[in-house]
Structure 1
Amino acid sequence: MPRVRELEVFRLVLPYGRRSETLLVKLTDHGGMTGWGEALSPQPKTWSKLEETLAALIIGVDWEHPDAVPSGDPAVDMACWDLWTRMRGVPLAEAIGGTRTSLMATVRLSPDPSTESLVSRVNQQVCAGYGHVTLDVRPGWDVEPVRAVRAAYPALTLAVDCGNAYTEHGQLVALDSYGLEVIERPFAAGDVYAHAALQDQVTASVAVEVASTAELDDFLTVRAARVLLLRPTAFPSLSEARRAHDRAAAAGWDIQCAGGQGMGLARAATVAVASLPGCTLPCDVTQPPRQNQLVTPIVGANAGVIAVPLTQSGLGHDIDESRLRRMAKETFHS
């Protein structure tokens, strides 16, 4: 039975993209075993909550399962799962019900200065072994780039991620004529009926992203989509993410796991969740650049395939702790 004797939390500014933040949590039990977790773009009150209240909830308290720890924080929950599974000598993927040993991967490509440059980037990824490409589109950068890529690669499996940026259906219906597999996040996240109306008009599957099973139920009730974009770190716990997986799968939806940001731990948790039987679409963990990860082995795809670490316990990855301590902008220890 785990009993945590030390809690450490590290705040880092991500060295890429829009330089958002991530929190890493380290738990150490009385036998010296450690568990790690990560929370991306934490809420402003998260740091003070962890510092003021979490230590009292977790240090010196016996618990038999991660679900018994009332943290309400995804990084702490992930660290509890990592510690619990390491103590039992089982991989996290196996502990949560994963069945896959490897995953197909999609590669995500951001908007480009020109369609010619975009097609060249797609060519690089196809040559690297990817058979599934997700293009980020926005109003003003949508039909022309998709048309160009489809013309160059008639048989390539294509998806688009709209980033919740659209308010009208017209351009999205036009995109559907290019044989897309999935149209991800077309409208504002909570606009259930706009998603439902689009799904009625297109052949591609509409994908929605939620952060709770209650939100998912709203979409399921009106059949507003056919794909769940499941980002494990958006949920308060891995068990809640598993429940969302179960509900979507029971409804006949496909599921795509995504979680490429952070310093590697969130990506590792995404791979574990993506090994669940209902995660039928390629996994998205292609960002950030590999050199920005703090874990070994690096989490990523090789020739379009992601290995699920089933020979190591826990998350299956170790933290470069000396580098973490150099990079941390703020820490606390209890």
Structure 2
Amino acid sequence: MRIERVELRRIRTPMRFRFETSFGEETQKETILVSVHADGLAGYGESTAMSRPVYNEETTSTVWYVLERFLIPLLFSREISHPDEVSELFAPIRRHFMAKAALEGAVWDLWAKRQGIPLARALGGEKTAIDVGVSIGIEPTVEQVLRHVDRFLSEGYKKIKVKIKPGFDVKVIESIRKEFGDGVPLMADANSAYTLEHIDVMKELDQYGLIMIEQPLAHDDIIDHAKLQRELTTPICLDESIHTVEDARKALELESCRIINIKVGRVGGLTPARKIHDLCLERGIPVWCGGMLEMGVGRAHNIAVTSLPGFTIPGDTSASSRYFERDITIPAIELSAPGTLAIPDGPGIGYDLDEERVRRITVDHAVFRRPH
């Protein structure tokens, strides 16, 4: 497969509401949309980097720079017979996982379209639908969180994830349990906001029957998480600490966690995501697909990877309408049944790009052509 052209678009659109985590708050979505072109077909990828380097070191601006200066030239340097080769091609570039994932995902979509098969099947998935959950940000009051939980349970979401931080943690979890009972599939996401000095808070959370506590300690830690996991009944899930299959292997050998959140952008693409999935499946460790407030293209990639058998916990890929008045795909990502997303059966990601919408929210655009 000889990639003829790559297009980058920086797009920006307001979100329907303020979304707060321990990193800060988001009120608009800015992302890089990538398209790769060959033989009259286009494949699409979406960067999951934020506009500020608070989740990891990448931003939308660094993603654009690395794509333009390094990754696109590498992609033009050879023909691709299978998308797995893209990760190998990008290996000399250290980290910059979200930039790599955006371009690699677009190649996967294009390759699947050329084969005439859904991206999910190209990856080896066999599911026809996936269960999904929803993520609730930090709110000014516990009562507002309870209202969100009530609404999302009524919409059938299969897992409730609540963001926590020091001072907004035990009370909110306790209140959810009192209001809705122990049967609600509930987890807490700390986004690295705690240290081992907060072990008493973690032990208090341990009594509420949570599915997991996600990334309570430092973003680059697997040592202290192992110490904490030994003190808790609740499984710890690692997110920010896992970037490669080697990170996952070491964390599992140290018993730093009992669950891993696989984010395609964080680990550098669909091929690395599948490798981490395969390792966890072999070790009997459940995985799930986390979200980065993606728009429709990124959500479509999440749906595809979640079709793999090891994804047994509902992910964060809720309906587009949760975050955006209008998405960039046709159709928008919507629930096919309460708490369920159908896996598209069309070629590639299975969604068309809403080109008029994309043009309207584009703030920067560049085209790169393969040198002759």
Which residue type is aligned with residue 256 of structure 1? W
Offset at residue 325 of structure 1 (A): 2.1
Structure 2 residue aligned with 1:158: 186
Please tell me the residue identity of whatever aligns with 1:305. Answer: T
SS state of the match for residue 169, structure 1?
Answer: helix
Deviations 1:220-271 (A, max 9, x none): 1211110001101212221111101111222221111112423211111111
Question: In 2, are the aligned partners of 1:137 and 1:162 still within 8 Å (CA)?
Answer: yes
Name structure 2 gaps, 5 residues minimum: 16-25, 50-57, 92-99
* Deviating more after overlay: 54-63 vs 312-321: 54-63
Residue 32 of structure 1 is matched in structure 2 by: 40
Query: Quick check: 1:4–1:60 contact (8 Å CA) kept in 2?
Result: no
Aligned residue identity for 2:31: T
Return 142-151 or 42-51, whichever deviates more: 42-51
> Distance in 1 between the 2:76 and 2:13 partners?
28
Q: Residue 272 of structure 2 is aligned with which of 228, 240, 245?
A: 240
Q: Which residue matches 1:58? A: 75
| Superposed CA offset, 1:93-139 (max 9, x none) | 11111121111111111122222232222111111112421111111
Deviation sequence 1:178-225 (CA, Å, 0-9, x none): 111111111112221221122222222110011211221221121111
Residue aligning to 2:366: 332
Distance 1:137-1:52 versus aligned 2 partners, 3 A rule: closer
- The within-5 A match list for 1:158-307 is 158-167=186-195, 168-209=198-239, 210-286=242-318, 289-301=323-335, 302-307=337-342
Stretch of structure 1 that moved more, 176-185 or 286-295: 286-295
Q: Hey, what's the Cα distance between the residues in 2 that align with 1:14 and 1:220?
A: 39
Which of 132, 138, 146 aligns to 1:111? It is: 138
Does the residue aligned with 1:50 lie in a helix, a strand or coil?
helix
**What's 2:65 paired with?**
48
Q: What number of residue pairs does the alignment pair up?
A: 331
Partner SS state of residue 37, structure 2: strand
What CA deviation, in whole Å up to 9, does each residue of 1:267-313 have, x standing for no partner?
Answer: 1111111111111100111376142420122224341111111x201
Provide the rounded CA distance (Å) in 2 between the counterparts of 1:18 and 1:289.
10
* Kept in 2: contact 1:21–1:40 (CA 8 A): no
2:356 matches 1:322: yes
Q: Classify the secondary structure of the residue corresponding to 2:202.
A: helix
2:135/2:162 contact within 8 Å kept: yes
2:115 is the counterpart of 1:88: yes
Secondary structure at 1:10 match in 2: strand
Give yes or no for contact 1:233–1:266 (8 Å, CA) kept in 2.
no
Is residue 125–residue 305 contact of structure 2 (8 Å, CA) maintained in 1?
A: yes
Secondary structure of 1:148's counterpart equals helix
C-alpha offsets along residues 42-94 of structure 1, whole Å, 9 cap, x if unaligned? Answer: 54443233334445433484321112332462111111110100011111111
Measure, in 2, the Cα distance between the counterparts of 1:214 and 1:172: 27
Match of 2:165 among 126, 138, 151: 138
**Pair 1:52–1:133, CA change in 2 (3 A):** closer
Larger displacement relative to structure 2 (170-179 or 18-27):
18-27
Read off the aligned partner of 1:274 and give its amino acid letter: T
Aligned-pair identity (%): 31
Partner residue, 1:22:
31
Structure 1 residues 124 and 314: CA distance shift in structure 2, 3 A: same
| CA deviation vs aligned residue, 1:148-181 (integer Å, no higher than 9, x gap) | 1101111211111111101121101101101111
Task: Call closer, same or farther: CA 1:11–1:249 in 2, change over 3 Å.
Answer: same
Q: CA RMSD in A?
A: 1.9
Q: 1:171 to 1:53 in 2, by over 3 A?
A: closer
Deviates more, 1:5-14 or 1:241-250: 5-14
Q: What is the TM-score normalised by the length of structure 2?
A: 0.84
Separation (CA, whole Å) in 2 of partners of 1:48 and 1:137: 33
Return the alpha-carbon distance in structure 2 between the equivalents of residues 13 and 107 of structure 1: 23
Contact 1:263/1:292 (8 A) holds in 2: no
State yes or no: 1:149 paired with 2:169.
no
Q: Which amino acid aligns with 1:185?
A: Q
Q: Which amino acid aligns with 2:219?
A: A
CA distance in 1, matches of 2:124, 2:211: 27
What is the rounded CA distance, in whole Å, between the counterparts of 1:227 and 1:300 in structure 2? 27
Partner of 1:177: helix, strand, or coil? Answer: helix
Q: What SS does the corresponding residue of 2:278 show, helix, strand or coil?
A: helix
Distance between the aligned counterparts of 1:330 and 1:235, measured in 2?
26
Q: Which residue is 1:67 aligned to?
A: 84
> Partners of 1:303 and 1:279 in 2: how far apart?
19
Structure 1 outlier segments of 4+, above 6 Å = none
- Asked if the contact 2:43–2:107 (Cα under 8 Å) also holds between the matched residues in 1, the reply is yes
Aligned amino acid, residue 304 of structure 1: G
